[in-house]
Amino acid sequence: MSSVSILIVEDEKSLHDTLKLNLEMEGYDVSSAYDGAEAIKICQQAYYDLVILDIMLPEVDGLSVLENIRLNKIESPVLILSARNSSADRVSGLRKGADDYLTKPFELEELLLRVNNLVQKGKAIRQVNMSAETFSFGGHTIDFKSQIATLKSGHEVELSKKETMLLQLLASHANEVVTREKILQSVWGYQVFPTTRTIDNFILTFRKHFEEDTRNPRYFHSVRGVGYKFTP
Taking Cα atoms as reference points, which of 96, 22, 107, 4 lies closest to residue 53?
A: 96
Please tell me whether residues 104 and 165 are part of one structural domain. Answer: no
What is the per-residue pLDDT for 213? 94
Taking Cα atoms as reference points, which of 33, 27, 37 lies closest to residue 5?
A: 27
Please tell me whether residues 9 and 124 are part of one structural domain. Answer: yes
Q: Report the chain's mean pLDDT, rounded to a whole number.
A: 87
Q: CA–CA separation, 19 vs 170, rounded Å?
A: 36
DSSP state of 136: E
Q: Tell me which range, 65-69, 122-126, 206-210, is most confidently predicted by mean pLDDT.
A: 206-210
Please tell me whether residues 136 and 95 are part of one structural domain. Answer: no
What is the per-residue pLDDT for 191? 43
Please tell me whether residues 178 and 76 are part of one structural domain. Answer: no
Please tell me whether residues 74 and 136 are part of one structural domain. Answer: no
CATH number for position 99: 3.40.50.2300
Bridge partners (DSSP) of residue 53 are 9, 80
Answer whether 0.75 is exceeded by the pTM. Answer: no
Distance, C-alpha 183 to centroid of its chain: 11
CATH number for position 187: 1.10.10.10
Which conformational region is residue 69 in: left (phi greater than 0), alpha (psi within -120 to 50 degrees), or beta? alpha
Please tell me whether residues 9 and 120 are part of one structural domain. Answer: yes
User: Which is it for the CA torsion 69, 74, 75, 77, positive or negative?
Assistant: negative
Is the model more confident about 209 or about 69? 209
What is the per-residue pLDDT for 123? 72
At which of 73, 94, 129 does a domain end? Answer: 129
Please tell me whether residues 142 and 123 are part of one structural domain. Answer: no
Q: Is the pLDDT of residue 157 over 60?
A: yes
Tell me the mean pLDDT in the region 148-160.
94
At which of 104, 129, 154 does a domain end? Answer: 129
At which of 77, 103, 129 does a domain end? Answer: 129
Q: Which of 7-21, 107-121, 124-138, 150-164 has the lowest mean pLDDT?
A: 124-138
How many domains does one find in the chain? 2
Is the model more confident about 72 or about 211? 211
Q: CB-side exposure of 177: number of CA atoms within 13 Å?
A: 9
What is the per-residue pLDDT for 232? 87
pLDDT tens per residue across span 77-119: 899 999 888 888 888 888 888 989 999 999 999 999 999 989 8
Please tell me whether residues 108 and 147 are part of one structural domain. Answer: no
Please tell me whether residues 111 and 144 are part of one structural domain. Answer: no
What is the per-residue pLDDT for 195? 67
What is the per-residue pLDDT for 36? 95
What is the per-residue pLDDT for 121? 77
pLDDT tens per residue across span 20-56: 999 999 999 999 999 999 999 998 887 788 999 999 9
What is the per-residue pLDDT for 1? 37
Tell me the mean pLDDT in the region 168-177.
88
Please tell me whether residues 114 and 75 are part of one structural domain. Answer: yes
Please tell me whether residues 86 and 20 are part of one structural domain. Answer: yes
Task: Name all contacts of 140-149 with Cβ < 8 Å and 24+ positions apart.
Answer: 140/209, 140/210, 142/167, 142/171, 144/168, 149/209, 149/210
Domain containing residue 55: 5-129
pLDDT tens per residue across span 174-213: 888 888 877 876 777 654 456 667 889 999 999 999 999 9
Q: Is the pLDDT of residue 131 over 60?
A: no
Tell me the mean pLDDT in the region 151-159.
94
Please tell me whether residues 172 and 223 are part of one structural domain. Answer: yes
Q: Per-residue confidence at 158, pLDDT binned at 50, 70, 90?
A: very high
